[in-house]
Amino acid sequence: MAPNSDSSPLESLPNVALKQKRALPFFNQHPWVFTGAVLSVKGAPAPGDEVVVRADHGKFVARGLFNSNSNIRVRLYSWNEEVALDREFWDERIKTAVSLRSDFIQNEETTAYRLINSEADGLSGLTVDRYGDWLLVQFTSLALAERKEILFDLLEEHCSPKGIWLRTEKGIRDLEGLSISDGLVRGEEPPRPVPIKENGLTFLVDVAEGQKTGYFLDQRDNRRAVARYTAGHKVLDLFSYSGGFGITAAVTGGAESVTCVDSSKPALESAQQNATANDVAEKVNIAASDCFKYLEAARDEGAVFDTVILDPPKMTRSASGAKSALRGYHSLNDLAVSVLRPGGILVTCCCSGHISRDEFVRMLSGVATGSGRRIQILESRGHAADHPVSPNCPENAYLKCLICRVV
């Protein structure tokens, strides 16, 4: 592999031929060529090497990066024969991603956001989050990890961070055959925690140890949207993590009280710190509990809330698990409805990519029927705009957030 070699001419590159009738998605710019679509490989590319992908009859499809260790055998980046995957190419992609965020996302009120969202920014296998002056990089592709020095150089050039921190999602090392160590890769160590602004509020983020990349940036706009409904409300924020929804409801939404429930102690400590940082500690209660058990106990005691927020973790990682996950969502939503006053607000989220928005709505229809309560969907929302989705790779749209009134 020669990641630093600039502009390999097309003729010098190894060729990957696709099976007959398997090329259409890739002519349509889907970026993942799975092993099953590959007919043959000529030229013995090493993992990480640039290759040319062709249809079975030899027609050029795209330039991509090869990985014999991964089920995604080739990730595609350039659909133009003339445009090689060199430093100039990565430079243009990173510049374009940065400009989306500087034009529309970053301002005095919001200093943390997803800076690069993999496929949707034309950079399959690279995720970068900005937390104030620090960048947090995650590679989900071996080939981009092998080009890390170029990519770090470009990130420094375009973003001038104080430091860059690397984290690798669980399981990715095995899926891609990656061997990289997490930690500081450029500049200064980030403080623990890093203070950030979101919708004008302050949140303290542990980029090294916090869940996901330290904070759930994808819910930023949903937190603000929910706050429009919570004036004077008694709010139950379930699966609260560091309190993003509940604290925004207390500060921006004028909620009377907020109870944050999570099973993780560090998450709740962080929620407590965030409540204090935003001067709403006296309104925010913290409960360490399994959310299902918490709701059952609340229902049995006859507790009543004006707003209930449900933001559970992914309930399935595979299509085959979707049915049983939907049963899990049903019982959770059914319990939530049982502690809501008539006319109360239910915010119900689903981040399982294998469950569609339609299926999620059908689940909610079952909850309405079973509970005898009428549910009105007021807003059907997704991720914030720093998590764009490519129409060529719609499987990246995972987040559903429904704001409902329950009569």
Interaction between residue 227 and ligand SAH (CB under 6 A): no
Residues between 350 and 379 that touch ligand SAH (CB under 6 A): none
Interaction between residue 268 and ligand SAH (CB under 6 A): no
Of the candidate spans 138-146, 194-202, 211-219, 317-325, the one that interacts with ligand SAH by CB under 6 A turns out to be: 211-219
Interaction between residue 329 and ligand SAH (CB under 6 A): no
Interaction between residue 118 and ligand SAH (CB under 6 A): no
Interaction between residue 249 and ligand SAH (CB under 6 A): no
Q: Which one of 211, 272, 276, 392 is in contact with ligand SAH (CB under 6 A)? A: 211
Q: Which one of 267, 295, 367, 401 is in contact with ligand SAH (CB under 6 A)? A: 267
Interaction between residue 270 and ligand SAH (CB under 6 A): no
CA distance 202 to 271: 11
Q: Which one of 264, 272, 356, 371 is in contact with ligand SAH (CB under 6 A)? A: 264
Judged by CB under 6 A, the number of residues near ligand SAH is 17
Of the candidate spans 86-94, 134-142, 239-247, 395-403, the one that interacts with ligand SAH by CB under 6 A turns out to be: 239-247
| Cα dihedral across residues 65, 173, 268, 317: positive or negative | positive
Of the candidate spans 184-192, 234-242, 274-282, 297-305, the one that interacts with ligand SAH by CB under 6 A turns out to be: 234-242
Of the candidate spans 64-72, 102-110, 260-268, 330-338, the one that interacts with ligand SAH by CB under 6 A turns out to be: 260-268
Q: Are 136 and 213 contacting, i.e. CB atoms less than 8 angstroms apart? A: yes
Tell me how far, at minimum, the Cβ of 398 lies from ligand SAH, in Å: 13
Interaction between residue 239 and ligand SAH (CB under 6 A): yes
Q: Which one of 88, 189, 279, 290 is in contact with ligand SAH (CB under 6 A)? A: 290
Interaction between residue 307 and ligand SAH (CB under 6 A): no
Smallest CA-to-CA distance from 112 within 85, 79, 134 is with 134
The site for ligand SAH (CB under 6 A) is made up of: 211, 216, 219, 239-242, 244-245, 262-264, 267, 290-291, 311, 313
